Structure 1
Amino acid sequence: MTTGFLAALLAGAFAGGFINGLAGFGTALLSLGLWLQIMPPPQAVAIVVVMSVVSGLQGLWITRREIRDRPGRLARFLVPGLIGLPMGVTLLNVISAPVLKLVIAGFMIAYGGFFTLRRSLPRFERPTPGMDIGIGFAGGILGGAASLSGALPTMWCAMRPWPKGETRAVLQPYNVGILGAAVALFALQGLYDRETLTLIAFALPATLIGAHFGIRLFHHLDDTQFRRLLIGVMLASGLALALRELI
């Protein structure tokens, strides 16, 4: 392990932990940009899902009250998402994952760009349990087919007038649950060999430190700033995903 390799590994771990601590998701957005330059894609993805789950568990603590107060809302997203995850894995034999990623990236760019330029944010005030279930299910499918489980739930939650704690109380445990299931699937596929586990051990402290700083910044955001942060992360994620697939 060279000094340059270790520096890129730790930088990606810290950046991924920071954005997860701040927004409740997005570890892959910053980590994979560095890790795909120093390791094979299967290894990079296997590590990033572990880092996402670990930093997400740290973030769950700050929204524990909101999660406890509205367990039904979270269940409407998470349970269908877990059902959709293996279906998405099965779809990999039928559809082209790169094409699907480009389509979703285009949607994320259009969504993020449109609402970034708008002065006022959309507000869906009325309860929409059916839509919540559908979004959670579709997110699970996209997670299994293209590792994009958080895209649709994040876009949907950013359009709801929920306080930042309530929004995070959906997104954070949703992503932890979906990615935790992905870790189990990857383990069954034998992706966590000795080398990968060693890299995880090196990256884990940097991820936890980054998540800590992200959580501290999260506390300084008001509800509107947090919703705009989600929209901005969607735009950045779409651009990064499109460039990665095209290049």
Structure 2
Amino acid sequence: MNTETALFLVAGALAGGFINGLSGTGMALFSIGFYLAVLDPARAVAVVALMSILVGIQGLWVVRGALRAQPGRALRFVIPGLVGVPLGVPLLDVIEAGTLRVTIAVILVFYGGYFAFRKTLPVFTRRTPKTDVCVGFVGGVLGGAAAISGAVLSMWVSLRPWSKAETRAVLQPFNVAVLATTVMLLLFRGAYDARTFSAMAVTAPMVVVGAQIGIIVFRRLSDNAFRRLIILMTLVLGLGIMVSEIA
């Protein structure tokens, strides 16, 4: 592995690790561009998925109290999300993935752009277990079909009157569960070979460092600031998807 490749891997790990440590999501969006510059798509996704799980485990520890307090809330999203992942993969046979990604990106940009700069944020207070299940399922389907599992969930949780720990206690386990499923599918497809493991050996220490810095910042945010961060992330996510499809 040459120096240029190592530098790209380290930069991607630090950027993605910091964002995921800060918000509980966004690892792939902020790191995949660096990895694709030096790895083929299959290996790049394989590294990002496994590194996202590594970061996610750190994030789960941070919000372990919120998870123990209301485990059913996270499961309402996670279980239907896991059902949706394998159902989303066959959609590639009937729906072009790029078209689907751009459609979702437009929704994210309008949503994030509209709410990101408002003085007051809307709050959806009543319990909505059926809607939660639907959001989790759709997120899983989108993850299998276009690798954007966190898009719909991020929009939904940003409208809930939950504390930052409660919000992250939904986002983090959902992302870890969906990405663990992705890793298993990639493993069966042979994406984890010697070159992939070599790349992970470089990125793993750096992604841990980046995540820890992000977690430190997360702990300093107020609940309202964290809600605004999630909304801003949806805007950035939408713009990132659009740029990746146009490039």
Q: 3-state DSSP class of the match of 1:160?
A: coil
Q: Indicate whether 1:18 and 2:18 are aligned.
A: yes
Question: What corresponds to 2:149 in structure 1?
Answer: 149
Determine the C-alpha separation between the residues in 2 that align with 1:93 and 1:53.
28
Provide structure 1 residue ranges, at least 5 long, that are not aligned to the other structure. Answer: none
Please give the per-residue CA displacement for 1:100-119, whole angstroms capped at 9, x wherever unaligned.
11111111111110001211
- TM-score (structure 1 length as normaliser): 0.98
Question: What corresponds to 2:111 in structure 1?
Answer: 111
Q: 3-state DSSP class of the match of 1:170?
A: helix
- TM-score (structure 2 length as normaliser): 0.98
What is the Cα deviation at residue 94 of structure 1?
1.6
Determine the C-alpha separation between the residues in 1 that align with 2:42 and 2:110.
29
Q: 3-state DSSP class of the match of 2:149?
A: coil
What is the Cα deviation at residue 122 of structure 1?
1.0
Provide structure 2 residue ranges, at least 5 long, that are not aligned to the other structure. Answer: none
State the 4+ residue runs in structure 1 displaced beyond 6 angstroms: none
What is the Cα deviation at residue 45 of structure 1?
1.0
Determine the C-alpha separation between the residues in 2 that align with 1:33 and 1:105.
17
Q: Indicate whether 1:31 and 2:21 are aligned.
A: no
Determine the C-alpha separation between the residues in 2 that align with 1:39 and 1:203.
13
What is the Cα deviation at residue 169 of structure 1?
0.3
Question: What corresponds to 2:90 in structure 1?
Answer: 90
Question: What corresponds to 1:128 in structure 2?
Answer: 128
What is the Cα deviation at residue 160 of structure 1?
0.4
Question: What corresponds to 2:223 in structure 1?
Answer: 223
Q: 3-state DSSP class of the match of 2:127?
A: coil
**Counterpart AA for 1:224:** N
Determine the C-alpha separation between the residues in 2 that align with 1:38 and 1:193.
16
What is the Cα deviation at residue 34 of structure 1?
1.5
Please give the per-residue CA displacement for 1:128-158, whole angstroms capped at 9, x wherever unaligned.
0010000000000000001111111111000
Q: Indicate whether 1:242 and 2:242 are aligned.
A: yes
Question: What corresponds to 1:67 in structure 2?
Answer: 67
Please give the per-residue CA displacement for 1:205-225, whole angstroms capped at 9, x wherever unaligned.
000010000000000000000
What is the Cα deviation at residue 159 of structure 1?
0.5
Question: What corresponds to 1:79 in structure 2?
Answer: 79
Determine the C-alpha separation between the residues in 2 that align with 1:108 and 1:45.
22
Aligned-residue CA RMSD (Å) = 0.8
| Identity fraction in percent | 49
Determine the C-alpha separation between the residues in 2 that align with 1:198 and 1:37.
16
